[in-house]
Amino acid sequence: MAVLRTNLEKSPFLKRKLGDLPLRPGCYLYRDHGGNLLYVGKAKVLRNRVKSYFQQKRLDAKTRRLVARIWDVELIVCETELEALILENNLIKEHFPPFNILLRDDKSYPYVKLTWKEAFPKVFVTRKIRKDGSLYFGPFFPASTAYRTAELVYRFFQIRDCDIDIDGKRGRACLKYQLHRCTAPCIAAVGQEAYREQAKEARLFLEGKRDELKARLEAAMWKAAEAAAFEQAALHRDALEQVDAWFTRQKVASADLDDTDVFGSAVLDGRACVHRLLLREGRMVGRQEYLLDDVEAFDGDVLAQVIQRVYSADPVPARILAEVEPADGELLGAWLSGLRGSRVRMHVPQKGEKVDLLAMAQENARLALERKFEPARLNEAVLEGLQAFLGLSHLPRRLECFDISHGQGREVVASCVVFSDGVPDKVRYRRFKLTNEQNDDFANMQEVVMRRYRRIQDENKAFPDLVLIDGGLGQLHAAEAALKELGLDHLELASLAKKEELVFRPGSSEPLKIPKSSPVLQLLQRIRDEAHRFAITYHRALRAKRTLQTELTQIPGIGPATAKKLLQAFGSVTHVRLVSESDLAQAIGGAATRKVMAWRSTQV
């Protein structure tokens, strides 16, 4: 059993605070030595809960890592445990502590949004949910379903999707009015009350309330027929037929008409996927997947945290089905019921179609997890192949690659890109503006390698498992000299020459040739090409900045703002020299144009 390491003896705060914990409900916040927030938790009795972290001997791996880093604890006392639960959710949403369960959506699924609070509501597809009084329907999977649904709303109910202010005073309507996709409230072709009725029908459609919607459409159809408004009656009749056809195509997942969410999970190698099925009015309307790290088993504690994170943002259904009972089920139920405004039931199905729904969610979670993390397993095999091919002492999980970019010795820059487990780690990318302006690639490579690893030494950070250089033997020797000067000649080093894709290693004049079809070579090429892309992007940005500052801003009376307008309008200084005076005047005005024309007259 692993030894539980703590900072009880080292921290001047921790031991004292643990001896003076209140017997009250509330939240506790663990911080590390640098004051960074590690974890937020809630407790019915703060003294019992906080002390349990340091007294239990059997903790899972993630909790042991947390306890080893705790340096200080902050307490927020609450009146009730429910109040503590709400506060915990708010703190996690605000600070995203690394040791709390943080849901990562496998995909950002779209919703159909109905702006219900507007006098003339509109419908459109969005991927962001805001607390703005609008109604959100979804999420939809696949994403195309959301756009098809919105299109049906335009066709059946003629709801607008534009952003214009509706005052009824526009001169004419847009083409959608002619195509019967909107009733044109912008030109007062429909009144607010009648338009609101359209919006109510659209809402019923989006909520899946077929029977109520059909009743409204049927009543409207007969009312229009009695008033001899036969064209309007025909529109209602067509909408009725389309609604029937649309709902017939929808899969009926349950005879029970309660709004229900079903949570199924799968765990693989310390990662978990939670699959959520959404049933509304007995029909399956969508699904969502969440990915979790550092999860050994999907138990009641994990489920409770997942439910808290999900319903902090999404609407709460009447019932939740899951494979285990959530921890603190009564408290969680009270919180959910408060959010919904009516009772929310949570239970584990034991028989019937609800068990089948849960099995469907679990199977989807398993497939999604395998699909998501199979590339990680493939990357592992490729890294093992790279280790064997280059004869490395250990698996090259972290690779850093350097490239130089310049234009005839000007704006000389370098890039350092980082790949972790075969995947770009863009947060750790670095770029460098170099001092050497002599177009000496070898000296430039030596400088950037020296700067990069001297800083890592000074900051006492971890070194990469493999340093990759874009270039041949000359660039490799330059990097090798830099590492040797720093006393880091033990670092694994290699270079990849572009022309024949040959790999060079220190101490060997003979290059290694990897078959073009090998995933090992493809990984090295991907890293090298990423370093080249990152370097040249930086070089071009500096070159554009120099062009702006040294040519256009040297025109008497032309400042950076006008120079920027010129470049935006004409693309380059060359075009500024060639365009007509009228085009210049349209872009920057008459006074500035006269100054540019005077400058152009002095150009050879």
Which of 249, 273, 300 terminates a domain? The answer is: 249
Q: Which residue type sits at 492?
A: E
Same domain assignment for residues 62 and 136? no
In-domain check, residue 213: yes
Same domain assignment for residues 133 and 243? yes
Q: Which residue type sits at 246?
A: W
CATH of the domain at 50: 3.40.1440.10
In-domain check, residue 125: yes
Domain total in the chain: 5
Q: Do residues 401 and 528 make contact, with C-beta atoms less than 8 angstroms apart?
A: yes
* Residue 274: Cβ-neighbour burial (10 angstroms; 0-12, 13-18, 19+): buried
Tokens 């090998």 correspond to what residue? Answer: 518
In-domain check, residue 464: yes
- Which pLDDT does position 467 carry in this prediction? 95
Same domain assignment for residues 331 and 429? no
CATH of the domain at 580: 1.10.150.20
In-domain check, residue 306: yes
CATH of the domain at 267: 3.30.420
Same domain assignment for residues 212 and 298? no
Cα atoms in the Cβ-side hemisphere of radius 13 Å centred on 466 = 30
Same domain assignment for residues 131 and 154? yes
In-domain check, residue 6: no
Same domain assignment for residues 340 and 442? no
Which of 219, 249, 279 terminates a domain? The answer is: 249
List the structure tokens of 54.
Answer: 């340091």
Q: How far apart are CA 173 and CA 179, in angstroms?
A: 11
The segments of the chain whose pLDDT lies below 70 read: 1-5, 103-109, 138-143, 208, 210, 236, 239-257, 269, 281-286, 371, 373-378, 407-409, 436-438, 517, 545-550, 604
In-domain check, residue 7: no
Same domain assignment for residues 150 and 187? yes
Same domain assignment for residues 517 and 571? no
In-domain check, residue 221: yes
- Listed residue (279, 241, 242, 246) closest to 261, CA to CA: 279
Same domain assignment for residues 93 and 155? no
Same domain assignment for residues 296 and 163? no
- Write the CB contacts of 234 (distance below 8 Å, at least 6 apart in sequence): none
Same domain assignment for residues 282 and 348? yes
Same domain assignment for residues 130 and 235? yes
Q: How many CB atoms neighbour CB 501 within 10 A?
A: 15
- Expressed as residue numbers, the domain containing 229 is 111-249
Q: How far apart are CA 47 and CA 55, in angstroms?
A: 12
In-domain check, residue 379: no
Backbone dihedral region for residue 539 (phi beyond 0: left; psi -120 to 50: alpha; all else: beta):
alpha
Which of 215, 249, 283 terminates a domain? The answer is: 249
